[in-house]
C-alpha cells in the first residue's frame, strides 16, 4: 500500500497534471527549486521549461495566470504563503471570478492558484492566516480545502481539469503531519461535494483542513464518554455541498461548526445561516460555532498561538456543552 503525506500527494498530483497535458505549467516564487515547502521538488528535471520562477509579485503571478488561461494554457500558480495573496485580490475579484460571466460563458479560464494557509506552525502574523472567508465571497471562483492526502491528490487534479478558476488551499500544518494509505482510500473527484467521515447521533461537527483532523480526534475521545458525533469534511467551500450539510444537521438536531479563522465574518457563519434558514425546525439547540478569537493576527508567542488556535480539547468541550443542551 502506498502511504503518502499531504505534501507528497500534492507533488504527485502536480506531476500527473503536467504529464497529462502539455499546456499545463507551474509558476510562482522559487518553484523551479522546489518552493519553500518543497511541493514542486524534482518536477523541473522531469518537465524542462514548464516550471517558471517569478518575481515577488503576487498580483503579477495571478495576472499572468489569467492571461495564459485565456490563451489556452492551463497554469498552476503557487502563492508561497496565503498571507501574501491579498496583493492579488483585485485580480481575483475584478478579473478571474467574473471572466465567464462577463463573456456570457463563451470564454473559460482554466487556472489554479495553490497556496499554503493556516496556523499551528509558529509562523506569527505573516505566515499563519486563514484567508478563506475573503475568497468564498466571489461567485465564479471555486475554493477547495481538502484534509486527507487522497483528496488532495484527486481534487487538485479535478481543479486543474476544471474550465474555470480554482483557489486550492493547502493547510501547511498538515503537509507532513497527515499520512494516508492512498490505494483504496476514499478520494473525492468532484469539486463541490463533502464527505461524512464519521457518523453519530448526538451532534454534527463541520470542519475542513487541520480542524477536520482535530474534530475527528475530539469525536473519538467523546465516544468514550457516550457522546457520538457525526463529522463532516467539507472539502470544498465554494460551492458548498448544501444537501449533505442540511441532511446531517437534520439527522442530529445539534451542530457545531469549527474553523481556525476569526469568529466574526468567518466562513462558519455561512454554514450557520444555511442551517438556520433551511433546517431550523429540526434543531434541538442553537447553532454553535468554535473559531479563533477576534484579534488582528496570529500571536508570535507559542502559548498565545495555542490560545488562538482551536484544538481537539476545545472542540470536545464545546461538543459536550452542546450535547448537554
Active-site annotation, residues = 127
Does residue 83 sit in helix, strand or coil?
helix
Q: Which residue has the cell 482535530?
A: 214
Distance CA 293, CA 310 (A): 9
Residues in Cβ contact with 172 at an 8 Å cutoff, skipping those fewer than 6 apart:
37, 81, 116, 117, 118, 121, 123
Helix axes 210-223, 312-323, angle to 10 degrees: 50
> 250: how many CB neighbours lie within 10 A of its CB?
16
For residues 170 and 117, the answer to whether their CB atoms sit within 8 Å is yes
Cell of 18: 503536467
Distance CA 200, CA 241 (A): 19
Cell of 259: 474553523
Distance CA 302, CA 307 (A): 9
Helices and strands, number each (H, E), in the chain: 12, 14
Please choose, from the candidates 11, 13, 12, 76, the residue with its C-alpha nearest in 3D space to the C-alpha of residue 50.
76
Amino acid at each position: 500500500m502506498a502511504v503518502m503525506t499531504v505534501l507528497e500527494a500534492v507533488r504527485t498530483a502536480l506531476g500527473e497534471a503536467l504529464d497529462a497535458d502539455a499546456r499545463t505549467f507551474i509558476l510562482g516564487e522559487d518553484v523551479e527549486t522546489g518552493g519553500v515547502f518543497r511541493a514542486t521538488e524534482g518536477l523541473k528535471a522531469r518537465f524542462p521549461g514548464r516550471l517558471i520562477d517569478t518575481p515577488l509579485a503576487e498580483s503579477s503571478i495571478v495576472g499572468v495566470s489569467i492571461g495564459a488561461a485565456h490563451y489556452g494554457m492551463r497554469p498552476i500558480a503557487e502563492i508561497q504563503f496565503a498571507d501574501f495573496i491579498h496583493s492579488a485580490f483585485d485580480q481575483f475579484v475584478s478579473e478571474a471570478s467574473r471572466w465567464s460571466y462577463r463573456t456570457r460563458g463563451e470564454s473559460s479560464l482554466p487556472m489554479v492558484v495553490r497556496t499554503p494557509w493556516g496556523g499551528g506552525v509558529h509562523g506569527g502574523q505573516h505566515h499563519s492566516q486563514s484567508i478563506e472567508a475573503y475568497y468564498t465571497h466571489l461567485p465564479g471562483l471555486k475554493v477547495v480545502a481538502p484534509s486527507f492526502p487522497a483528496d488532495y491528490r484527486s481534487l487538485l487534479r479535478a481543479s486543474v481539469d476544471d474550465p474555470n478558476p480554482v483557489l486550492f488551499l493547502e493547510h501547511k500544518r498538515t503537509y507532513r503531519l497527515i499520512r494516508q494509505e492512498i490505494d483504496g482510500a476514499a478520494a473525492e473527484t468532484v469539486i463541490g461535494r463533502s464527505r461524512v467521515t464519521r457518523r453519530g447521533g448526538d451532534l454534527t461537527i463541520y470542519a475542513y483542513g487541520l480542524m477536520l483532523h482535530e474534530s475527528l480526534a475530539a469525536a473519538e475521545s467523546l465516544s468514550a464518554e457516550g457522546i457520538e458525533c457525526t463529522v463532516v469534511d467539507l472539502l470544498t467551500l465554494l460551492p458548498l455541498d448544501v444537501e449533505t450539510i442540511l441532511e446531517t444537521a437534520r439527522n442530529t438536531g445539534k451542530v457545531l461548526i469549527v474553523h481556525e479563522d476569526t469568529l466574526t465574518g468567518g466562513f462558519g457563519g455561512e454554514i450557520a445561516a444555511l442551517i438556520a434558514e433551511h433546517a431550523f425546525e429540526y434543531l434541538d439547540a442553537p447553532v454553535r460555532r468554535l473559531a479563533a478569537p477576534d484579534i488582528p493576527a496570529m500571536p508570535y508567542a507559542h502559548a498565545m498561538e495555542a490560545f488562538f488556535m482551536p484544538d481537539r480539547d476545545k472542540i470536545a468541550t464545546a461538543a459536550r456543552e452542546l450535547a448537554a443542551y
